[in-house]
């Protein structure tokens, strides 16, 4: 079996490696999140984003990279005073979810769900949940978007900045 570390981009380290059935075909695929090293002098909000790679099992049982995105998981210092914005990832049969959050007084959270589409042989953005909460007033605003609002977006093309923002309270 191929070593997952061989798919980590040069100069980065694996932040998370999840195994599961990403295509619904019953294989042991991998969702790999890689992180660049912090650089001296980086301030809050500065740094390179993480790289999310979708690795699927081929006919011989090896892994191959099927898709990649470097816009979904922000840099380690991009969560504000709340810390590292990467929350977690989860794989269910043919789908995966990535959750990020951060902020200060106003805490934000974003969950991105992707579904495998066999016809396109790609993962499509299925659902986005964005939430912002004021920690002093406890005001909360939650927005849920589906493909009805954003259309067809492939995982590799998805940029969270292209979606409507939840906004401030």
pLDDT tens sequence across 5-36: 999 999 999 999 999 999 999 999 999 999 99
Which residues, at least 6 apart from 96, have a Cβ–Cβ distance to it below 8 Å? 18, 20, 22, 31, 54, 89, 90, 113, 114, 123
pTM (2 d.p.): 0.92
Where exactly are the structural domains of the chain?
4-160
pLDDT over 70 for what percent of the chain? 96
Give me the pLDDT at residue 130, please: 94
Q: Tell me the mean pLDDT in the region 110-128.
A: 97
Which residues, at least 6 apart from 31, have a Cβ–Cβ distance to it below 8 Å? 16, 17, 18, 20, 22, 52, 53, 54, 55, 89, 91, 96
Distance (Å, whole) CA 89 – CA 98: 4
Give me the pLDDT at residue 140, please: 94
- Look at residues 95, 118, 98 and name the one whose alpha carbon lies nearest to residue 51: 98
Give me the pLDDT at residue 40, please: 77
Tokens of 144: 């849920």
User: With 80 as the cut, is the pLDDT of residue 2 above it?
Assistant: no
Distance (Å, whole) CA 107 – CA 50: 21
pLDDT band at 168 (very low <50, low <70, confident <90, very high): low
3-state secondary structure (DSSP) of residue 159: coil
User: Cα Rg for the chain, rounded, in angstroms?
Assistant: 17
> What tens digit of pLDDT does each residue of 57-107 get?
998 889 999 999 999 999 998 998 888 999 999 999 999 999 999 999 999
3-state secondary structure (DSSP) of residue 160: helix
Distance (Å, whole) CA 99 – CA 104: 17
Residue 47 DSSP class: S
pLDDT over 90 for what percent of the chain? 79
Tell me the residue ranges of DSSP E strands in 6-81: 13-20, 29-35, 51-57, 63-69
User: With 60 as the cut, is the pLDDT of residue 52 above it?
Assistant: yes
What end-to-end distance do the CA atoms of the chain give, in Å?
A: 50
């Amino acid at each position: 079996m191929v070593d997952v570390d061989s798919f980590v981009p040069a100069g980065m380290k694996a932040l998370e490696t999840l195994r599961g059935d990403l295509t619904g075909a019953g294989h042991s695929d991998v969702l790999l999140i890689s992180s660049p090293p912090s650089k001296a002098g980086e301030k809050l909000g500065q740094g390179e984003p993480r790289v999310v790679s979708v690795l699927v099992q081929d006919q011989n049982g090896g892994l191959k990279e099927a898709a990649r995105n470097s816009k979904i998981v922000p840099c380690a210092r991009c969560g504000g005073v709340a810390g590292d914005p990467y929350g977690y990832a989860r794989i269910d049969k043919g789908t995966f979810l990535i959750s990020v959050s951060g902020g200060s007084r106003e805490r934000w959270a974003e969950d991105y769900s992707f579904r495998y589409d066999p016809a396109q042989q790609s993962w499509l953005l299925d659902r986005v949940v964005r939430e912002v909460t004021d920690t002093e007033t406890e005001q909360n605003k939650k927005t849920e978007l589906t493909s009805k609002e954003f259309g067809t977006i492939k995982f590799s093309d998805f940029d969270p900045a292209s979606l409507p923002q939840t906004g401030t309270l």
